[in-house]
Amino acid sequence: MTDSSTGAGAAYGDRDPDALARRAGERANPDRDQHFLVDDRVLDRIPAYLPDDADASHLLEIGGGAGALTDRLLAAVAAENGRLSVIERDGVFADFLREEFATAVDDGLLDVIEGDALDVDLPPFTACVANLPYGVSSEIAFRLLPEGKPLVLMFQAEFADRMVASAGESEYGRLSVSAQHYAAVEIVERVPKEAFDPQPAVESAVVRCTPRDPEYEVGDEAFFLRFVKALFTQRRKTVRNAVRNTGHISGLDDPESVVDAADEDLLRRRPGDLEPSAFAALAELARERGSPTEV
Protein backbone atom coordinates (compact mmCIF):
# COMPACT_ATOMS: atom_id res chain seq x y z
CA MET A 1 0.00 0.00 0.00
CA THR A 2 1.39 3.37 -1.00
CA ASP A 3 1.84 6.03 1.67
CA SER A 4 -1.28 8.12 1.13
CA SER A 5 0.43 11.27 2.37
CA THR A 6 2.86 11.31 -0.53
CA GLY A 7 2.41 13.53 -3.54
CA ALA A 8 2.93 13.28 -7.29
CA GLY A 9 4.89 10.04 -7.14
CA ALA A 10 2.19 8.07 -5.31
CA ALA A 11 0.25 5.28 -6.96
CA TYR A 12 -3.37 6.02 -7.71
CA GLY A 13 -6.40 5.13 -5.67
CA ASP A 14 -5.39 5.53 -2.02
CA ARG A 15 -4.56 9.20 -1.49
CA ASP A 16 -5.94 10.59 1.74
CA PRO A 17 -8.56 13.30 1.02
CA ASP A 18 -7.56 15.44 3.98
CA ALA A 19 -3.88 15.26 3.01
CA LEU A 20 -4.76 16.27 -0.53
CA ALA A 21 -6.67 19.28 0.74
CA ARG A 22 -3.71 20.31 2.90
CA ARG A 23 -1.32 20.02 -0.01
CA ALA A 24 -3.66 22.04 -2.22
CA GLY A 25 -3.19 24.91 0.23
CA GLU A 26 -6.75 26.15 -0.16
CA ARG A 27 -9.93 25.00 1.53
CA ALA A 28 -13.13 24.33 -0.32
CA ASN A 29 -15.24 27.47 -0.36
CA PRO A 30 -18.99 26.86 0.05
CA ASP A 31 -19.62 30.36 -1.29
CA ARG A 32 -18.17 29.06 -4.57
CA ASP A 33 -20.29 25.90 -4.36
CA GLN A 34 -17.28 23.81 -3.26
CA HIS A 35 -17.84 20.89 -0.89
CA PHE A 36 -15.11 18.26 -1.03
CA LEU A 37 -16.06 14.63 -0.63
CA VAL A 38 -13.66 13.33 2.05
CA ASP A 39 -15.13 9.97 3.09
CA ASP A 40 -12.72 7.32 1.79
CA ARG A 41 -15.37 4.62 1.76
CA VAL A 42 -17.71 6.63 -0.46
CA LEU A 43 -14.84 7.72 -2.72
CA ASP A 44 -13.74 4.11 -3.16
CA ARG A 45 -17.25 2.97 -4.10
CA ILE A 46 -18.18 5.68 -6.60
CA PRO A 47 -16.17 4.49 -9.65
CA ALA A 48 -17.63 0.99 -9.22
CA TYR A 49 -21.15 2.35 -9.78
CA LEU A 50 -20.52 2.62 -13.50
CA PRO A 51 -22.51 -0.06 -15.36
CA ASP A 52 -20.58 -3.32 -15.74
CA ASP A 53 -20.44 -2.94 -19.51
CA ALA A 54 -19.48 0.76 -19.48
CA ASP A 55 -16.54 1.80 -21.62
CA ALA A 56 -14.10 3.38 -19.16
CA SER A 57 -11.40 4.14 -21.71
CA HIS A 58 -11.92 7.92 -21.40
CA LEU A 59 -13.57 9.10 -18.21
CA LEU A 60 -14.69 12.66 -17.58
CA GLU A 61 -14.78 14.29 -14.15
CA ILE A 62 -16.35 17.70 -13.55
CA GLY A 63 -15.15 19.65 -10.53
CA GLY A 64 -11.90 17.94 -9.60
CA GLY A 65 -11.21 20.13 -6.55
CA ALA A 66 -8.30 18.81 -4.52
CA GLY A 67 -8.34 15.50 -6.39
CA ALA A 68 -9.72 12.87 -4.02
CA LEU A 69 -12.13 11.45 -6.61
CA THR A 70 -9.61 12.20 -9.39
CA ASP A 71 -7.21 9.84 -7.60
CA ARG A 72 -9.75 7.02 -7.57
CA LEU A 73 -10.68 7.59 -11.20
CA LEU A 74 -7.02 7.55 -12.22
CA ALA A 75 -6.73 4.11 -10.63
CA ALA A 76 -9.69 2.97 -12.71
CA VAL A 77 -8.42 4.31 -16.04
CA ALA A 78 -4.84 3.17 -15.37
CA ALA A 79 -6.15 -0.39 -15.00
CA GLU A 80 -7.84 -0.08 -18.40
CA ASN A 81 -4.98 1.75 -20.16
CA GLY A 82 -7.43 4.60 -20.49
CA ARG A 83 -7.53 8.32 -19.93
CA LEU A 84 -9.16 10.83 -17.57
CA SER A 85 -10.16 14.40 -18.38
CA VAL A 86 -10.99 16.71 -15.48
CA ILE A 87 -12.76 20.05 -15.84
CA GLU A 88 -11.99 22.42 -12.96
CA ARG A 89 -13.19 26.02 -12.80
CA ASP A 90 -10.92 27.18 -9.93
CA GLY A 91 -7.44 28.02 -11.23
CA VAL A 92 -5.75 27.21 -7.92
CA PHE A 93 -7.17 23.70 -7.87
CA ALA A 94 -6.55 23.18 -11.60
CA ASP A 95 -2.87 24.00 -11.05
CA PHE A 96 -2.75 21.75 -8.00
CA LEU A 97 -4.21 18.81 -9.92
CA ARG A 98 -1.54 19.18 -12.60
CA GLU A 99 1.16 19.27 -9.91
CA GLU A 100 -0.23 16.52 -7.68
CA PHE A 101 -0.77 14.17 -10.62
CA ALA A 102 2.17 15.34 -12.72
CA THR A 103 3.17 11.78 -13.53
CA ALA A 104 -0.30 11.02 -14.85
CA VAL A 105 -0.21 14.18 -16.97
CA ASP A 106 3.23 13.29 -18.33
CA ASP A 107 2.09 9.73 -19.07
CA GLY A 108 -0.92 10.95 -21.03
CA LEU A 109 -3.26 9.50 -18.42
CA LEU A 110 -4.69 12.82 -17.23
CA ASP A 111 -5.75 16.05 -18.88
CA VAL A 112 -6.83 18.98 -16.69
CA ILE A 113 -9.11 21.50 -18.42
CA GLU A 114 -9.41 24.81 -16.60
CA GLY A 115 -12.79 26.42 -17.14
CA ASP A 116 -16.50 26.37 -16.44
CA ALA A 117 -18.16 23.07 -17.37
CA LEU A 118 -21.10 25.02 -18.79
CA ASP A 119 -18.88 26.94 -21.19
CA VAL A 120 -15.89 24.84 -22.21
CA ASP A 121 -15.99 22.36 -25.06
CA LEU A 122 -16.47 18.91 -23.58
CA PRO A 123 -13.65 16.54 -24.52
CA PRO A 124 -14.55 13.21 -26.11
CA PHE A 125 -15.49 10.88 -23.25
CA THR A 126 -16.95 7.43 -22.80
CA ALA A 127 -18.44 7.91 -19.31
CA CYS A 128 -18.60 10.64 -16.67
CA VAL A 129 -18.14 10.29 -12.91
CA ALA A 130 -18.35 13.47 -10.85
CA ASN A 131 -19.26 15.18 -7.61
CA LEU A 132 -21.04 18.09 -9.28
CA PRO A 133 -21.22 21.67 -7.99
CA TYR A 134 -24.78 21.62 -6.70
CA GLY A 135 -25.67 25.15 -7.78
CA VAL A 136 -25.31 24.24 -11.46
CA SER A 137 -25.92 20.49 -11.25
CA SER A 138 -29.12 20.64 -13.29
CA GLU A 139 -27.50 22.59 -16.13
CA ILE A 140 -24.48 20.28 -16.18
CA ALA A 141 -26.62 17.13 -16.02
CA PHE A 142 -28.65 18.24 -19.01
CA ARG A 143 -25.51 19.05 -20.90
CA LEU A 144 -24.29 15.50 -20.25
CA LEU A 145 -27.47 13.44 -20.64
CA PRO A 146 -27.97 14.08 -24.39
CA GLU A 147 -24.44 12.75 -24.97
CA GLY A 148 -25.79 9.24 -24.41
CA LYS A 149 -22.94 8.12 -22.15
CA PRO A 150 -23.07 6.37 -18.74
CA LEU A 151 -23.04 8.87 -15.88
CA VAL A 152 -22.40 8.51 -12.14
CA LEU A 153 -23.11 11.87 -10.57
CA MET A 154 -23.44 13.26 -7.04
CA PHE A 155 -26.45 15.52 -6.50
CA GLN A 156 -28.39 17.01 -3.65
CA ALA A 157 -30.66 14.22 -2.39
CA GLU A 158 -33.81 16.21 -3.12
CA PHE A 159 -32.72 16.73 -6.72
CA ALA A 160 -31.87 13.04 -7.06
CA ASP A 161 -35.27 12.05 -5.70
CA ARG A 162 -36.93 14.21 -8.35
CA MET A 163 -34.79 12.66 -11.10
CA VAL A 164 -35.89 9.12 -10.28
CA ALA A 165 -39.52 9.79 -9.31
CA SER A 166 -42.40 8.01 -11.05
CA ALA A 167 -45.73 9.38 -12.22
CA GLY A 168 -48.10 10.03 -9.34
CA GLU A 169 -45.36 10.63 -6.77
CA SER A 170 -45.04 14.07 -5.20
CA GLU A 171 -41.44 14.46 -6.45
CA TYR A 172 -42.41 13.63 -10.04
CA GLY A 173 -42.08 16.54 -12.43
CA ARG A 174 -40.34 18.02 -15.42
CA LEU A 175 -36.95 16.85 -14.13
CA SER A 176 -38.17 13.25 -13.83
CA VAL A 177 -39.60 13.09 -17.36
CA SER A 178 -36.64 14.89 -18.93
CA ALA A 179 -33.94 12.80 -17.23
CA GLN A 180 -35.73 9.52 -17.85
CA HIS A 181 -36.16 10.47 -21.50
CA TYR A 182 -32.42 9.99 -21.92
CA ALA A 183 -31.52 7.25 -19.46
CA ALA A 184 -32.53 4.71 -16.88
CA VAL A 185 -31.96 6.70 -13.72
CA GLU A 186 -31.41 5.22 -10.25
CA ILE A 187 -30.08 6.28 -6.88
CA VAL A 188 -27.23 3.94 -5.98
CA GLU A 189 -26.14 5.48 -2.69
CA ARG A 190 -27.31 8.15 -0.26
CA VAL A 191 -24.47 10.18 1.22
CA PRO A 192 -24.71 12.04 4.56
CA LYS A 193 -23.51 15.62 4.84
CA GLU A 194 -20.76 14.45 7.19
CA ALA A 195 -18.99 12.87 4.20
CA PHE A 196 -18.07 16.36 2.95
CA ASP A 197 -15.82 19.19 4.06
CA PRO A 198 -17.19 21.74 4.58
CA GLN A 199 -20.51 20.05 5.21
CA PRO A 200 -23.33 21.13 2.90
CA ALA A 201 -26.69 22.02 4.37
CA VAL A 202 -28.37 19.04 2.70
CA GLU A 203 -27.99 15.31 2.25
CA SER A 204 -26.62 14.02 -1.05
CA ALA A 205 -27.10 11.03 -3.32
CA VAL A 206 -25.16 9.27 -6.06
CA VAL A 207 -27.21 8.77 -9.22
CA ARG A 208 -26.40 6.34 -12.03
CA CYS A 209 -27.72 7.22 -15.48
CA THR A 210 -27.54 4.36 -17.96
CA PRO A 211 -28.33 5.60 -21.48
CA ARG A 212 -31.17 3.91 -23.32
CA ASP A 213 -33.73 4.71 -25.95
CA PRO A 214 -37.13 5.62 -24.50
CA GLU A 215 -40.07 3.29 -25.04
CA TYR A 216 -41.80 5.98 -27.10
CA GLU A 217 -40.87 8.10 -30.09
CA VAL A 218 -40.95 11.87 -30.46
CA GLY A 219 -40.60 13.69 -33.75
CA ASP A 220 -39.07 16.82 -32.25
CA GLU A 221 -37.12 16.33 -29.03
CA ALA A 222 -36.75 20.05 -28.32
CA PHE A 223 -40.50 20.56 -28.60
CA PHE A 224 -41.21 17.51 -26.44
CA LEU A 225 -39.01 18.81 -23.62
CA ARG A 226 -40.46 22.30 -23.95
CA PHE A 227 -44.01 20.88 -23.86
CA VAL A 228 -43.22 18.90 -20.70
CA LYS A 229 -41.77 22.03 -19.10
CA ALA A 230 -44.88 24.01 -20.04
CA LEU A 231 -47.38 21.57 -18.60
CA PHE A 232 -45.52 21.20 -15.31
CA THR A 233 -45.80 24.93 -14.72
CA GLN A 234 -49.49 24.09 -14.26
CA ARG A 235 -49.06 20.81 -12.41
CA ARG A 236 -52.12 21.37 -10.19
CA LYS A 237 -54.37 22.10 -13.16
CA THR A 238 -55.99 19.52 -15.39
CA VAL A 239 -54.11 18.67 -18.57
CA ARG A 240 -56.89 20.45 -20.47
CA ASN A 241 -56.23 23.74 -18.69
CA ALA A 242 -52.47 23.23 -18.65
CA VAL A 243 -52.40 22.93 -22.45
CA ARG A 244 -54.65 25.95 -22.83
CA ASN A 245 -52.71 28.12 -20.41
CA THR A 246 -49.14 27.47 -21.55
CA GLY A 247 -49.04 28.09 -25.28
CA HIS A 248 -46.64 30.96 -24.66
CA ILE A 249 -44.18 28.48 -23.12
CA SER A 250 -44.66 25.47 -25.37
CA GLY A 251 -44.93 27.60 -28.50
CA LEU A 252 -48.40 26.36 -29.47
CA ASP A 253 -50.27 28.83 -31.65
CA ASP A 254 -53.53 26.86 -31.40
CA PRO A 255 -53.73 25.01 -28.08
CA GLU A 256 -57.51 24.75 -28.37
CA SER A 257 -57.15 22.46 -31.37
CA VAL A 258 -54.98 20.17 -29.23
CA VAL A 259 -57.62 20.08 -26.51
CA ASP A 260 -60.33 19.32 -29.07
CA ALA A 261 -58.36 16.38 -30.47
CA ALA A 262 -57.10 14.84 -27.21
CA ASP A 263 -58.71 11.97 -25.32
CA GLU A 264 -61.16 13.21 -22.69
CA ASP A 265 -59.85 10.90 -19.97
CA LEU A 266 -56.35 12.26 -20.54
CA LEU A 267 -57.54 15.86 -20.39
CA ARG A 268 -59.12 15.28 -16.97
CA ARG A 269 -55.85 14.11 -15.46
CA ARG A 270 -53.09 16.29 -14.03
CA PRO A 271 -49.57 16.55 -15.46
CA GLY A 272 -48.05 14.85 -12.42
CA ASP A 273 -50.08 11.72 -13.15
CA LEU A 274 -48.95 11.28 -16.77
CA GLU A 275 -46.30 8.68 -17.61
CA PRO A 276 -43.52 9.90 -19.94
CA SER A 277 -45.07 7.89 -22.77
CA ALA A 278 -48.36 9.75 -22.31
CA PHE A 279 -46.49 13.06 -22.42
CA ALA A 280 -44.83 11.93 -25.64
CA ALA A 281 -48.13 10.97 -27.26
CA LEU A 282 -49.72 14.26 -26.23
CA ALA A 283 -46.69 16.22 -27.44
CA GLU A 284 -46.94 14.53 -30.84
CA LEU A 285 -50.62 15.41 -31.01
CA ALA A 286 -49.77 18.98 -30.05
CA ARG A 287 -47.13 19.11 -32.77
CA GLU A 288 -49.63 17.94 -35.35
CA ARG A 289 -52.63 20.03 -34.28
CA GLY A 290 -51.28 23.01 -32.34
CA SER A 291 -49.12 24.68 -35.00
CA PRO A 292 -46.06 25.03 -32.76
CA THR A 293 -43.51 27.72 -33.46
CA GLU A 294 -39.94 28.11 -32.23
CA VAL A 295 -39.64 29.71 -28.77
**Residues marked as binding for S-adenosyl-L-methionine?**
35, 37, 63, 88, 116, 131
Pick left, alpha or beta for residue 88 (phi over 0 → left; psi -120 to 50 → alpha; otherwise beta): beta
- What's the one-letter identity of residue 17? P
Which residue in 272, 292, 170, 288 sits closest to 228, CA to CA? 272
Give me the phi and psi of 150, to 5 degrees please.
-60, 140
Which residues are annotated binding-site positions?
35, 37, 63, 88, 116, 131
Contacts (Cβ under 8 Å, ≥6 apart) of 215? 277
CA distance readout (Å), 166 to 65, 174, 177, 214, 275: 34, 11, 9, 15, 8
**Side chain identity at 15, as an amino acid letter?**
R
Cα-only R_g, the chain = 22
Residues with Cβ within 8 Å of residue 22, at least 6 apart in sequence: none
CB atoms within 10 A of CB 229: 17
